[in-house]
Amino acid sequence: MSDCIFCKIAKHEIPCDAVYEDDDFLAFRDINPVAPTHVLLIPKQHVSSLLDEGAKAEMLGRMTALVPKLAEQLGIAADGFRLVVNTGKEGGQTVHHLHFHILGGRSLQWPPG
Ligand code: DGP
């Protein structure tokens, strides 16, 4: 997708603070962090959201398997972290390229109690 900001980041046309990269995935720090550690993990291939038919189980499995490895690398595995996948309008998705938010470093205020 030529106008997709995360496609441009995946192709290194827009800079990012990358923490991990392989042939299929890229992880980089969120430009607007809401936790001390806030990393986005994306597939390099354009998939708009979890609702996209391109969000295949095999790809999602490999993407999810990267999360604990990244958490270890980022130093947030021991104390735990949150994985968020905003999906669609009501889900608060603003960038329409599938991404996992990996959030750690402090106790967030959701869910309450
Ligand atoms: P969401 O609301 O789930 O679609 O989250 C999109 C996130 O993407 C949001 O936390 C801010 C982040 N973001 C948007 N544009 C950029 C960018 O150009 N660079 C980086 N590093 N993050 C971005």
pLDDT score at 103: 95
Ligand 1: distance of its center to the CA of 80 in Å? 22
In tens digits, what is the pLDDT along the chain, a chain of 113 residues?
779 999 999 999 999 999 999 999 999 999 999 999 999 999 999 999 999 999 999 999 999 999 999 999 999 999 999 999 999 999 999 999 999 999 998 766 666 65
Which residue has the least CA distance to atom 16 on ligand 1?
31
Whether the CB-CB separation of 81 and 52 falls below 8 Å is answered with no
Pocket test for ligand 1, best of 94, 101, 108 (most atoms within 8 A of CB): 94
Please report the atom of ligand 1 found closest to the CA of residue 85: 3
Domains detected in the chain = 5-104 (3.30.428.10)
The yes-or-no answer on residue 99 being catalytic is yes
Distance between CA 41 and CA 59 in Å, rounded? 12
* Residues within 6 Å of ligand 1 by CB: 5, 16, 28-32, 40, 86, 92-95
Report yes or no on whether pTM surpasses 0.85: yes
CA-based R_g, the chain, Å? 14
Distance between CA 106 and CA 100 in Å, rounded? 18
Please report the atom of ligand 1 found closest to the CA of residue 96: 4
Report the residue count for the chain. Answer: 113
Distances (CA, A) of 83 to 1, 11, 76, 101: 25, 24, 12, 6
